[in-house]
A = this chain, B = another copy of it.
Amino acid sequence: MHLDLTADAVTLTQQLVDIESVSRDEQAIADAVEAALTPLEHLTVIRRGNTVVARTELGHAERVVIAGHLDTVPLNDNLPSRLDEATGLLHGLGTCDMKGGDAVILRLAQTITRPDRDLTFILYEGEEIDTEFNGLHHLSQSDPELMTADFAILMEPSNGVVEAGCQGTLRVDVRTTGERAHSARSWKGVNAIHKAAEILARLNTYEARRPVIDGLEYHEGLNAVFVRGGVAGNVLPDECVVEVNFRFAPDRSEEEAEAFVRDFFDGFEVTLTDMAPGALPGLDRPAAKAFIDAVGGEVNPKFGWTDVARFTALGVPAVNFGPGDPMLAHKQEEHVPVDQIRSCERALTQWLGGAS
B-chain residues with CB within 8 Å of residue A223 when the two chains form the complex: 183, 186, 191, 193-194, 236
B-chain residues with CB within 8 Å of residue A169 when the two chains form the complex: 183-184, 234
Contacting pair B219 A187 (CB below 8 A)? yes
Contacting pair B187 A225 (CB below 8 A)? no
B-chain residues with CB within 8 Å of residue A286 when the two chains form the complex: none
- A303 CB to nearest B CB, Å: 4
B-chain residues with CB within 8 Å of residue A232 when the two chains form the complex: 225
Residues of A206-246 at the interface with B, using a CB-CB cut-off of 8 Å, are 208, 219, 221, 223-237, 240, 242-243, 245
Q: Interface 1/0s, chain A 260-298, versus B by CB < 8 A?
A: 000000000000001000000000000000000000000
B-chain residues with CB within 8 Å of residue A227 when the two chains form the complex: 193, 196, 227-230, 240
B-chain residues with CB within 8 Å of residue A219 when the two chains form the complex: 185, 187
Asked if A201 CB lies within 8 Å of chain B CBs, one says yes
Asked if A314 CB lies within 8 Å of chain B CBs, one says no
Contacting pair B234 A245 (CB below 8 A)? yes
Contacting pair A221 B305 (CB below 8 A)? no
Asked if A47 CB lies within 8 Å of chain B CBs, one says no
- A325 CB to nearest B CB, Å: 13
Contacting pair A229 B226 (CB below 8 A)? yes
Residues of A181-204 at the interface with B, using a CB-CB cut-off of 8 Å, are 182-187, 191, 193-194, 196-197, 200-201, 203-204
B-chain residues with CB within 8 Å of residue A231 when the two chains form the complex: 225
Question: A197-B203, A200-B200, A243-B233 in contact; A183/B225 too (CB < 8 A)?
Answer: yes
Q: Across the interface, name the chain B residue whose C-beta is closest to A242.
A: B193
Contacting pair B245 A233 (CB below 8 A)? yes
Asked if A247 CB lies within 8 Å of chain B CBs, one says yes
Roughly how many angstroms separate A54 CA and B128 CA in the complex, as a whole number? Answer: 68
Q: Across the interface, name the chain B residue whose C-beta is closest to A232.
A: B225
Question: A187-B219, A247-B186 in contact; A274/B193 too (CB < 8 A)?
Answer: no
Contacting pair A183 B233 (CB below 8 A)? no
- A218 CB to nearest B CB, Å: 10
Asked if A107 CB lies within 8 Å of chain B CBs, one says no
Contacting pair A245 B187 (CB below 8 A)? no
Contacting pair B247 A183 (CB below 8 A)? yes
A-B contact sample (15 more), CB < 8 A, given A201-B201, A230-B243: A182-B304, A184-B221, A187-B208, A193-B225, A194-B223, A196-B200, A196-B227, A197-B204, A200-B200, A225-B231, A225-B232, A225-B233, A225-B236, A227-B240, A233-B245
Shortest 7 CB-CB distances between A and B: which pairs?
A226-B230, A197-B200, A186-B221, A184-B304, A193-B224, A184-B303, A183-B245
